[in-house]
Structure formats: structure tokens, C-alpha cells
Amino acid sequence: MAKRLVVCCDGTWNFADQPSKTNVSKVALSVHSGPAGGKDQRVYYHGGVGTRRTERLRGGAFGVGLSRNVIDAYRFLIETYEPDDELFLFGFSRGAFTARSLAGLVRNCGVLRPDQAARVEEAWALYRDRTERPSGAASALFRRSYAHETYIDFIGVWDTVGALGIPDLGPGWLGPVVKQFNHRWEFHDTTLSKWVKGAFHALAIDEQRSAFQPTLWHQQPGAAEQGQELKQVWFAGSHCDVGGGYKETGL
């Protein structure tokens, strides 16, 4: 029986046990893990970068752990995915970056078959290669040889930040260093794949900090006519008003 796999990726310094929960942790805690509506649901939650004590500054300012978070979520799919399973991805802030990067990795390389799990780093390198596209020969051959190709049913994200999503931390001189280091984490493709059936993005209209500048999706020509649904909507409030994490959560 086909399953529904729900992947939840939280924002920088956010984790499920914190008192003021983000919308991502609320989703992870609210979705039933087990049989539901005729499908078996499996829920995966990953705390944001910088949630480990030793990585708080490096993860918050320099994005250390971003690649590990994407790869960890990808490993969950490798271990649990079977053909015809549904994929639902959620993320907030740089967790939204993680969820969207995971979607790009799946589109580029497919979901590795369990007997090919040792090729995770190879798949990640192929995805990160800015010269290689999903339609390219190398990606097509990789998917055909080692992986399952699949659609992504749903992506729901709050205020995606990428290369510019660096909290304003530390002395002023640190800014240029941080930006140079994080340049390699920029989205190299903000175009929404036609293999995503539905994508939904909530954005904070009152967020003024340049460090939290959002990264919007761009829809491919003809995708809407083929049934893809993309909605990107601005809401009142700042970054954490929209994505959650503040003590006050009322409208």
C-alpha cells in the first residue's frame, strides 16, 4: 500500500521541544504517524541548523549543517520510499531552503534505491553541480541507473531564505566574511520543477532585515496549464510572525 511521507525541516536554532513552536514543528507534531485516511503516514522532523550547542554560532551565522540537513532528510526518503508513495515537504526559513533543496535533489537524482544508498554523496555532488540540469545526460543516467523517479505532491514553506538568510550576528566586520562563506549555499535554481504538483509559500510583508530577504519561486511556462498549483502569498508580520517561534501567536 502506498505511503505518505511527510518531511518537516525547521529554521535556524528552532527545534521541536522549544516552548514557542514554529509552524513546522506544529505540523510535525500534528500529523499522525501511522495509518490515516487509507494511507500509512511516516513523519520526519529535522531541527534547524545551529540547534546543536557547538554549532549555534557557526550554524546561525555561517549555515554550517545545511548540507547535512538536506542529506539526512534524503536518507530518510531512501530508507522509507517505495514507488507510488506521496511526498509532502514543509520548511521554515533556512528549513524552507532545506525542503526546497531536497525537492531539487529528488528531481535531479531521484530517490536512491536502498541498495544504492552509498551513493548519497555522489547524488549531492551531482545536484550541487551548477552546470548539470535534471534534463542533462549525467542526471538522467544517474536516475535511470540507481534511483526511483517520483513526483513531489506538496511543498509548503514559510519565508524561505537562502544565501541572504544570515542572522545579523557578531561584530560588523563579520558581515562580509559571512556573505563570502555562504555564497556557495545560494539557490542555483529558483525555478519550480514541473514534477512538483503543488507549492505554497507564505511570506512576511513587514520583514525589513536584509538578512531575511525571501527567495521566491519562479514557475515554468506552461506548468500552470498542466495542472501545477503555485501560490505565494504575503502576510502581515515579520519573519517569525509568519513562520512561528514567537511567544505571541495571535493575529
Domain count for the chain, please give it: 1
Q: Dig out the grid coordinates for 167 from the structure.
A: 542572522
Select the more confidently predicted residue: 191 or 75: 75
Q: How confident is the model at residue 48 (pLDDT cuts 50, 70, 90)?
A: low
pTM: 0.84
CA–CA gap between residue 90 and residue 167 (Å, rounded): 21
- Is residue 160 in some structural domain? yes
8 Å CB contact between 124 and 139: no
- Is residue 133 in some structural domain? yes
- Is residue 144 in some structural domain? yes
- Is residue 248 in some structural domain? no
Grid cell 496549464 is found at 225
**Host domain of residue 67:** 4-243
Grid cell 555561517 is found at 62
- Is residue 156 in some structural domain? yes
- Is residue 251 in some structural domain? no
pLDDT tens track for 210-243 = 778 888 999 999 999 999 999 999 999 999 899 9
CA–CA gap between residue 102 and residue 162 (Å, rounded): 13
Q: Reading across the β-sheet that carries 34-36, which strands appear in turn?
A: 34-36, 39-46, 3-9, 86-92, 154-158, 198-204, 229-235
CATH number, domain of 201, equals 3.40.50
CA–CA gap between residue 154 and residue 200 (Å, rounded): 8
- Is residue 173 in some structural domain? yes
Q: Is the pLDDT of residue 114 over 70?
A: yes
Average pLDDT, rounded, for the chain: 83
DSSP H or E segment with residue 56: helix 56-62
- Is residue 250 in some structural domain? no
